Amino acid sequence: MNGMETGIETRPHKAFFTRLAVLLILLLAISSAGLSCKKETEQAKKYMRQGNRAFGAAIAIGSELRNTKDGPIAILASGDMGKISGVASRLREIRLTVLRYRRMLGIAEGYYRNISALSGVGNYVEYQKIIMKAVDSEKMIGALWASLLRKCSDALESIARGEQVDWTSHAKKAQEALEKIEKLAQNSAEIEKEALRFKKEKKL
């Protein structure tokens, strides 16, 4: 009887410890998942902030390029022959500025795209999708600047060789490019505002 009673009494204890072990495993799993989620969220926030800093720097450079009213591109677009001499050296300066602009956009894009590799950060991914539209607009601006600079350089080289250059045609094309750049910049600014509203709404 004593052996049987001992056996009967120990069974509830075994079941209790089994349930306790399962519960502890579940708690550890939940805790681990929570820590992992928090880590992913913190990383997403870091990428977002780094991307925003780089994008902000690119926007500042782009604004500097557009707002140079007496810059070489504006001079060529005006077709003012009296001001065209000496533009070549300034084109080299603006080319370097465009390179900085496009490099910063590439850095921003890299940080934003890193967010997609994370899990459980839906709102950050949505923010990334919005802000990347602005980045794409700015990249199109960068491509327009590069094309415009190349055409202007070609025209100036033709002049240096003593060739005739149709400045009316060049001025028209330059003006059209500048108008496209301005429209794209406005589009980018609107998208950036949308991204900022989303960021505030979701408290990112």
Return the pLDDT at 1: 46
| Domain presence at residue 175 | yes
pLDDT of 91-111, one tens digit each?
888 889 999 999 999 999 999
| Domain presence at residue 38 | no
| Domain presence at residue 92 | yes
Domain extent at residue 60: 44-201
| Domain presence at residue 39 | no
Quick check: 175 and 99 in contact, CB under 8 A?
no
Radius of gyration of the chain (CA): 30
Quick check: 150 and 170 in contact, CB under 8 A?
no
pLDDT of 2-43, one tens digit each?
444 444 455 556 666 666 555 555 555 454 445 557 889 999
CATH of the domain at 88: 1.20.58
Q: How many domains does the chain have?
A: 1
- Distance, CA of 139 to CA of 170 (rounded, Å): 23
Return the pLDDT at 167: 75
